[in-house]
Each structure stands twice: as structure tokens, then as C-alpha cells.
Structure 1
Amino acid sequence: MLSRTGRPLSQVLFGPIARLCVKAHISADAVTIVGTLAGVIAALTLFPFDHLTAGAWTVGVLVIFDNLDGQIARITGTASKWGAFLDSTLDRVSDGAIFSGILVWAYLWADPSYQAAILIGTLGALVFGAVVPYARARAEGLGMNASVGLAERADRLVISLVAAWFVGMEWGDWIMAVAMWLLFIGAVITVVQRMMYVYKQANDHSNDLPKE
């Protein structure tokens, strides 16, 4: 939901920065790769070492700047299927690093009263969160649409990073448990929604075929 509503705002906020990157001859692919590497390093170092507040802010800023590559590509007229593929693939790497970092944090630092809940919820959010974009990509590869669902990438990132920030501010580890389970359940619901949506399209398509 946030990924759809936040695009106009990101264009206003990062348009000037994108134009500066173009003037500096920084390509969209370079921004994608460097941003991903920085995000992965931040998530896999700050979270596991119990620097949740710093990790949430650092990763959050890097995730926001992920909008730059698309804007640079549009300004320079270099938007391509390769760029879209690279961006989507590295987004999955970034997401995996964030949830992996939280998993390690939970194992090493979480309050024992909530540790099991956080570990299970985070693992479920990681696994089903990866299935959400795969379901859409697979549907589109088959000529159908699956752009529906309760929790998309932006929603998952905002919830996980805000939860990390609050826990880092010593508001209680229970916040992380609630957040991870919300993401886990939301991802499961989104996968089911997309499966049902594609199932309906597939049936409608088969009913349109001429009868022999």
C-alpha cells in the first residue's frame, strides 16, 4: 500500500538529488548496487550488535534513497528491463539482510520472554515476505496480474524498521514480537490473496478458450 501511495512524494523529494547525480555522471545501476551493498552491511552489522536505533535510521535512509535509481534512469532515458531486473533482485537481497539481522539480534540479545516469538515471527516474515514478490513476478511471467495484497515491500520495511527503532529506544522487546507476527500474518494473507487473484484470472482465461 505504501509503495503505491508514496511514489509521488518520493519524486518530489528526490528529484533534485537525482538531477545532481545525473550531472555527476552517476548511473542508475551504480546507485542501485552501492545502495544495496551499504544497506546489507548496515543491517548485518548494526542489528546483530544490538545497535537497533542506529540500524533502523541508517537502513531507513538507505531504503528511501533506493528511489533514486529509477528517477535517474527516467531522467537520462536509460530505463531498461535490465535495470528493473537488477533493482528488483537487489531489493530481495536488502530485505533478506534486514530480517536476517533482526533474527541474529533476537537470538543474541532479545528478552527471553519474547525471544521465541520474535524468532518465529521474523523467520515467517522472511520466508513469506520473499514469496510475495515471487508470486507477482511469476504471475506476470505467465501473462497475468497479481498486484494485490495487504502487505507489500514498503509496508514490511516501515513496520520492521519502526519496530527496531522503538525497541532500540528501550520501549520493550514485545514491540518486535508484535511487529514480526503482524508481518508474518500479513505476508501469508498477501500470498493467499495473490494466489486467489491469479486462480480467478486463469479460470476466466480457460473459460474464454473456444470449445472443441
Structure 2
Amino acid sequence: MAYDRTAMLKLLRPAMTRILTPLGRALVGRGIGPDAVTAIGTLGTVISALLFFPLGQLALGALVITVFVLFDLLDGVVARLGGKGGSTWGAFLDSTLDRVADAAIFAGLILYFISEDDTLMAAVALFCLIAGAVVSYAKARAEGLGMTADVGLAERPERLVVALVAAFLAGLGVPYVLPAGMWLLAAASLVTVVQRVRHVYLQTRER
């Protein structure tokens, strides 16, 4: 059975929106717009990832990062409730800062593996960082050329879930889960890059 990402998002987003709406309403009431929410979420993610992960505080780091990752949904709530910044510029800012946040998460994991003298896993985490950037770039470039590339096994939500859940469980002492998560993510990211390249290639052949 094919993985229906759209169905999952349709199920989760309304629930998360209901949870975040009271906070969004409070932020709007204080004149805080979605751009500010996006920036705060990114800054919190970057600081948390580069502070907790290199120190080996994986579970705490994963939990704090997850809270800030939810700002990715909160900025949309704020925009809908009337906050300033819900615009094309806001969409561009959100997408750009997502890349910064993702890079910080994997940079923190790379520093953690280096601190543990695990050069192999540091290299795997670096591959995940690079492959994730290529996955995002492939979609953006395809759309810039008038095509689509919204296919693939591991988009941003999947990459974040795998990385943060693996880090959290590793922080609780579950053995081998973080290396397994990184290897799984590396393979899935590579498959996704291939899927997107193939998808764009097929579209160019149809023109």
C-alpha cells in the first residue's frame, strides 16, 4: 500500500491547529506576526540543537527542538488569525529558515558523534544534512522551471521525525537506535533525491 502523506497531514494539521489556536490568538493580540514566530522558532531550534546535542543531552535536545519545530505550524495559525506578514515574503522566509533549522539539527548530531569519536556516524549524519538540502533544492529548482518535484520517500517532516525520535530514544538509553535512524535516513534521503530527479526528467521528456 502506498504511503499517503496527504491523508496523514489532513488528519494531523487540524488537530494541531486547534491546539495552537489559543496561543496564536494571544500572539496576534500582542502584535506579533507570523514572520516573528518563524524567526523565533528557527532561532530556538538552532540554539537548542547546537547546545544540547554536542553535550550529549539528546533526549532533552530532541524535546526542546520539537517544541520549536511546532512554530512551523504556529506561524500559519498566526497568519490566519490576522497577524502581519502572511504573504509571499512570509512563505519565502519560512522555507528559507526551515533549511537553516534542518542544518542546525544535523550539525548538532555531527558534533555529538565527533565528541563520541564516532567518525563513521559523523559522516553519515553529514550525508543526511547534504542529501536533505539536495532534496529541498531539487523541488525548488523544478518549481522555478515550471515543473513539479513533490514526490519522494523522505520529505522534511519524515526527516525531522526520524532524526528527533532516534535522538530522543538514544538519550533515554535505547541502544543502536540513533545509528539505525541515521542510516535509515541517509538511505531514504538518497532514494528521495533519485525519485525527484527521475520525476523531473520524465516531465522534460513529455515537453
TM-score normalised by length of structure 2: 0.91
The answer to whether residue 160 in structure 2 is matched with residue 153 in structure 1 is no
Find the counterpart in structure 2 of residue 103 from structure 1.
110
1:130-166: CA deviations, max 9, x gaps? 1111110001101111111100111111111111111
Task: Note the C-alpha offset of 1:200.
Answer: 1.1
Task: Note the C-alpha offset of 1:65.
Answer: 2.4
Distance 2:180 2:24 in 1: 37
The answer to whether residue 201 in structure 2 is matched with residue 194 in structure 1 is no
Distance 1:4 1:186 in 2: 20
TM-score normalised by length of structure 1: 0.89
Name the count of aligned residue pairs: 200
Distance 1:12 1:189 in 2: 34
Computing the radius of gyration over CA atoms, which structure comes out larger, 1 or 2? 1
Find the counterpart in structure 2 of residue 90 from structure 1.
97
Q: Is the 8 A contact 2:110 2:123 kept in 1?
A: no
Task: Note the C-alpha offset of 1:10.
Answer: 2.4
Of 56, 77, 81, 1:75 maps to 81
Of 62, 74, 78, 2:68 maps to 62
1:63-102: CA deviations, max 9, x gaps? 0222111221222274211101100110000000000000
**RMSD of aligned residue pairs (Cα, Å):** 1.6
1:95-123: CA deviations, max 9, x gaps? 000000000001113xx6xx244222211
1:172-203: CA deviations, max 9, x gaps? 2x211110111111111111111111111111
Question: Which 5+ residue runs of structure 2 have no aligned equivalent?
Answer: none
Percent identity reads 47
Secondary structure of the residue that 2:81 maps to in structure 1? helix
Distance 1:137 1:88 in 2: 10
Question: Which 5+ residue runs of structure 1 have no aligned equivalent?
Answer: 206-212
Find the counterpart in structure 2 of residue 9 from structure 1.
15
